[in-house]
Amino acid sequence: MSTFFHPTLSCPSCGSPFTKPIIKGLHVTRLPEVRAAILRGEFQRYACEACGAAIRVERTDTVYTDFNLGHYIAVDSRHAPDWRASKARHTRVFDEAFTLGPGVAQELAEGMRHRLVFGVLSLREKLLAWDNDLDDLVLEATKADALRARGFSVSEEELRLSVVVPDGPLIFMRLAPPSPAPSGPDGVTLLPAPTLRGHMIVSRGQYRERLRHRREILGELPWLGDDWVIDLLVTHPSRTPVTDDGLQPEI
């Protein structure tokens, strides 16, 4: 069975044809080099051979699995228009594969931590957090604190974990929030890599303080309570569902 496919794509900056092998499923128990590339920040990131633009491949239907560590992470495009629709699609795949599968699959599912993330940087963030024994709910709450301290609302800037210093600070990338974009053939699209605005540092003490009061987080930030999507920006109430005609409904 082929692990790769080769969709026809074009550079979002200059329109030049673009062909790179795109991997179908991120099953890192068999492909440890994929996990390493994600953590290096190099996975599905390219420079256009014609104009040099930094490009990221975005996909709507990837699944990352690590059976050794018990991780199941559904990965959608960073530019998916409606996280609720994505969740319905991805949880159906999970249920069909595991929850409704034979007994052995059900047992496997019970031991797995599952998430849905949007974009490779968000996938990288979950892996980095879990590798460093960070609680992702607490991590999202520390992002809210850091944004507010700088006078930002939580939907104004996208923060993604960049570096975790052992027993030291957490360093985040500061990015402009993604805007919705349609996906191309086979759910694959090429988009400019997000522009880095700078970095933000959160001390380990700030993280530990939030961890000590973990139970209070959902009272304050209730939209972090989803069972699949634990992401301050994605499930924020400002991310209203998109209607069939692509317009934001009035609320």
Q: In which element (H, E) is residue 56 found?
A: strand 54-59
Among 9, 11, 57, 75, binds Zn ion (CB under 5 A): 11
Question: Is 118 in contact with 76 (CB distance < 8 Å)?
Answer: yes
Per-residue binding string, Zn ion, 172-191, x by CB under 5 A, is --------------------
| Footprint on residues 12-31 left by Zn ion (CB under 5 A) | 13-14, 16
Q: What share of the chain is helix, strand, coil (3-state, %, to 5)?
A: 35, 25, 45
Q: Report the distance separating Cα 111 and Cα 104, nearest Å.
A: 11
Among candidates 82, 81, 102, 101, which has minimal Cα distance to 93?
101
Q: What is the nearest approach in angstroms of Zn ion to the Cβ of residue 171?
A: 30
53 contributes a contact to Zn ion by CB under 5 A: yes
50 contributes a contact to Zn ion by CB under 5 A: yes
Chain CA centroid to CA 83, Å: 11
User: Do β-strands 71-76 and 113-118 pair in parallel, antiparallel, or remain unpaired?
Assistant: parallel
34 contributes a contact to Zn ion by CB under 5 A: no
Residues in the chain: 251
Q: What is the nearest approach in angstroms of Zn ion to the Cβ of residue 15?
A: 7
48 contributes a contact to Zn ion by CB under 5 A: yes
Number of residues binding to Zn ion, judged by CB under 5 A: 8
Taking contact as CB under 5 A, which single stretch among the options 44-52, 75-83, 88-96, 236-244 is the one that binds Zn ion?
A: 44-52
Q: Report the distance separating Cα 154 and Cα 238, nearest Å.
A: 10
Per-residue tokens: 71: 């991780």
| Footprint on residues 106-165 left by Zn ion (CB under 5 A) | none
47 contributes a contact to Zn ion by CB under 5 A: no
Taking contact as CB under 5 A, which single stretch among the options 10-18, 89-97, 115-123, 183-191 is the one that binds Zn ion?
A: 10-18
Q: By the criterion CB under 5 A, which residues form the site for Zn ion?
A: 11, 13-14, 16, 48, 50-51, 53
